[in-house]
Amino acid sequence: MTNAQKWVAVFLGLFVVLFIIGKATKEEESFGDSDYYGSTEGAAEVSGLELIESVGCIRCHGIDLQGTALAPGLYEAKNHWSRKDLINYLRNPSAYDGDERFDKYRDKYSGSIMPSYGNRDVKELGKIADYLLSLDK
Ligand code: HEC
């Protein structure tokens, strides 16, 4: 390779790298507020159930999500929550204190606290919510 050819190769390489970086950042930007609670399009291809397992919900709610001594079962979720409220709850459970149901939980599961998942990608929480709301006995 001549020197000139090497330079061309270097510039081509740089161009490719910049192109990839550009694409990556663009994808992040496109996550606007408009689809905050909306579609789960674009989230990594993991199912709601896989997330529930990997995030660790089953640790307290049970491997079958039927409840344990640490936390209630989640099969009733669809009777209590809209998708949006459920996502908000997962992000900040303490905002829903005061409800009679939660007073009972507080007594029954006094040894554990529902963690807040405000640091998770809201699209992941959307998938989790979709899965929970689809649960049927
Ligand atoms: C450390 C134990 C623990 C973990 C981990 C946990 N939870 Fe909970 N969860 C609780 C407890 C305890 C409650 C009962 C409410 C309370 O005490 O605040 C609860 C309540 C809930 C409720 C409300 C139930 C109802 O009747 O409305 C939902 C929904 C829920 N959890 C979903 C999840 C999801 C989804 C995950 C994983 C992303 C998760 N939880 C992880 C302990 C846990």
* Residue 35 lies inside a defined structural domain of this protein: no
Q: Are residues 63 and 119 in the same domain?
A: yes
Model pTM score: 0.75
Closest residue by Cα to atom 2, ligand 1, is 60
Arithmetic mean of pLDDT, 54-69: 97
Q: State the distance from the centre of ligand 1 to the C-alpha of 33, rounded, in angstroms.
A: 26
Q: State the distance from the centre of ligand 1 to the C-alpha of 32, rounded, in angstroms.
A: 28
Torsion 55-60-89-132 (CA) sign: positive
Arithmetic mean of pLDDT, 96-107: 90
pLDDT at residue 13, as a whole number = 79
* Residue 19 lies inside a defined structural domain of this protein: yes
* Residue 42 lies inside a defined structural domain of this protein: no
Q: Are residues 60 and 98 in the same domain?
A: yes
Query: Domain with 114 in it: what CATH number?
Result: 1.10.760.10
Tell me which of 121 and 5 has the higher pLDDT.
121
Report how many domains make up the chain.
2
Closest residue by Cα to atom 27, ligand 1, is 77
108 touches ligand 1 (CB under 6 Å): no
Tell me which of 95 and 22 has the higher pLDDT.
95
Closest Cα to residue 57, out of 44, 70, 45?
A: 70
pLDDT tens-digit series, residues 34-45: 445 555 555 558
Arithmetic mean of pLDDT, 86-92: 97
Domain that holds residue 26: 3-30
Q: Give the span between the Cα atoms of 24 and 88, in whole angstroms.
A: 28
Q: Are residues 19 and 72 in the same domain?
A: no
